[in-house]
Chain A
Amino acid sequence: MRKQILVVIMIACVSTGALAQTNPENADKFSVWLPLQLLPTLTLYNDTHTSNFGFEWEVTPLLYSFGINRYVSPWYTFIVEPTARFTGSVELSVAGQIYTSKLGSSYFGSYARIMGFIPLSERGEHLTLNLGVGAHSVAGTTRVFKIAGISTLFGMLHLNLKHADNPTAWIGSLEFRVF
């Protein structure tokens, strides 16, 4: 799964960049999108055996916005403007992760997830409720996590908790997301 996720992220960057060249506004968006995608999400992984700190890099191949106005397309790929997400949306996102339990001892993870964003305050610009499910592959083991959290600061700061049973595992993540 890890390789597939990395391939998706690479294809995403290349294809988004290629599509962005179709007009100057998209090219400008891409020039902002790409460096911001490099900003990692901070993640804390905890299960019965170990606690690990990690970084993750996420892209959104597909998002459907049910909160954006009826005059624009509700479908977004990769470059997802904040308004489309926080006003109410469902998205498919994938991420690559690096975890470490001590310096020099790192391992990879990845996930694919479906998330819903429900606006709670100021059309979601101040606060949204996040709910979803995701398949996480960490240290060679793939498990299904339920996800709940909130987003604030114009949809750019996400605090999510992910939980899996048998055996119990928790992932807490503080995500900085623009697109």
Chain B
Amino acid sequence: MTRRLLPLASLGLALLLAGCSTWAARMFTRSMSRINEPIAPAPSMITQPLQPSADLAVAWVGHATALIQMYDKLVMTDPLFTGTVGIVVKRYIAPGIDPAILPKLDATLISHTHFDHFSYGSIEQLPRNGILAIPLGALRYTPEFGFRAVYELSPWESIEDSGLTITAVPVQHFSGRYGFDGAWMRDHGFTGYVVQYKDLTVFFAGDTGYHPEYFKEIGRRFTIDLAIIPIGPGGSWEVGSRIHVHPRGALMIFQDVRADYMLPVHHKTLFYGFEQDPAQSIITLRALAAEMGIADRIVDLDVGEQQVIIPSSRPPVTP
């Protein structure tokens, strides 16, 4: 009987391993080789999340985590504060803000269910009195965190909450969390967002490859002040892969959505296992932006840096 069962067990194991991509296997094995190395401190630390002198400000916390200030509102994208992702993938650089200093978060946006964008241990460290926006299909991956409300959004679906309008917009990526669940998360479970508040509009691309129609359509529907766009992993001069843009593809998205400014994210923070230089993505982006004459529209932040995009138009508050 035991002998008869062995082929069945082997078949099951083979099916499981087939669910793991070679990309994931490479990331795993090379990350394991540096699991004991210390994480470098962030070059800067954000100390004042809510800038009194800003109508629109943005800070890069690391990876795809950005802190957006729109007047009195604070929005965070794909929070990542843990030292590792998916247990073994280690970060190069510590996060650029201590989440304990955040006075509030009006909205937390999750672009998809991968470990580096939907980190349970990171969300636990955040204020959760605001709302959580997640893509269609992600609700079954969402523990009860205690957010005031959770919105699961389909592409082009909008919600309004406390003056913020959040619209899920289509991007090109893939979803699932554990490998095997890619079988039923092929065409959903990933999204970008457009956040509107008063006269300001911010676009967050999440994690995406270049799509010739999606981003042009976003640019037609919205007048975007700031676009937060991934530029890695990968620092080549190519457009990128189907699921990830490289710097050139990121700039094509920037042009398609017709935003005023672009914050490059999704680089320099995690050890994916195939970079020779983790800063290569931003180096390539700077060169390409200079070549295209748009370097002054790139909000080139290091981890832990914050920049006022639109200074406050309100009169200063006098004590």
The chain A residues found within 8 Å of chain B, CB to CB, are 24-25, 28-29, 31-32, 35-36, 38-40, 55, 67-72, 81-84, 87, 98, 100, 103, 106, 121-126, 153-154, 156, 178
Contact = CB atoms under 8 A, between A and B. Distances in A.
B1 interface: yes
Contact of A98 (B2, B12, B120, B177): B2
Interface stretch (B135-143, B161-169, B228-236, B269-277): B135-143
A87 B178 CA distance: 15
Instruction: Place the interface of chain B in its size category.
Output: 20 to 34
Interface of B: 1-2, 5, 8-9, 11-13, 15-16, 19, 82, 87, 120-121, 124, 139-145, 150, 152, 177-178, 180-181, 183-184
Given A28-B184, A29-B183, A67 B5 contact: no
B142 A38 contact: no
Given A29-B183, A106-B1, A125-B120, A39 B12 contact: yes
A32 B143 CA distance: 23
B120 A81 contact: no
Given A28-B184, A32-B183, A68-B142, A82 B13 contact: no
Given A28-B184, A154-B178, A69 B143 contact: yes
Contacts of A55: 2, 5, 9
Nearest to B84: A126
- Among B8, B145, B152, residue most surrounded by chain A Cβ atoms (within 10 Å): B8
Grouping DSSP codes into helix (H, G, I), strand (E, B) and loop, the B interface class, with mixed when no group exceeds half, is: helix
Contacts of B143: 67-69, 83, 87, 123-124
Contacts of A40: 5, 9
B87 A38 contact: no
11 contacts: A25-B184, A32-B183, A38-B11, A55-B9, A67-B144, A71-B139, A81-B140, A83-B141, A87-B144, A98-B2, A123-B143
A71 B152 contact: yes
Given A25-B184, A36-B180, A154-B178, A69 B142 contact: yes
A25 B184 CA distance: 5
B87 A39 contact: no
A24 B186 CA distance: 12
A102 to B, nearest CB: 11
Contacts of A39: 9, 12-13, 16
B150 A122 contact: no
A55 to B, nearest CB: 6
A158 B44 CA distance: 41
Contact of B5 (A68, A83, A98): A98
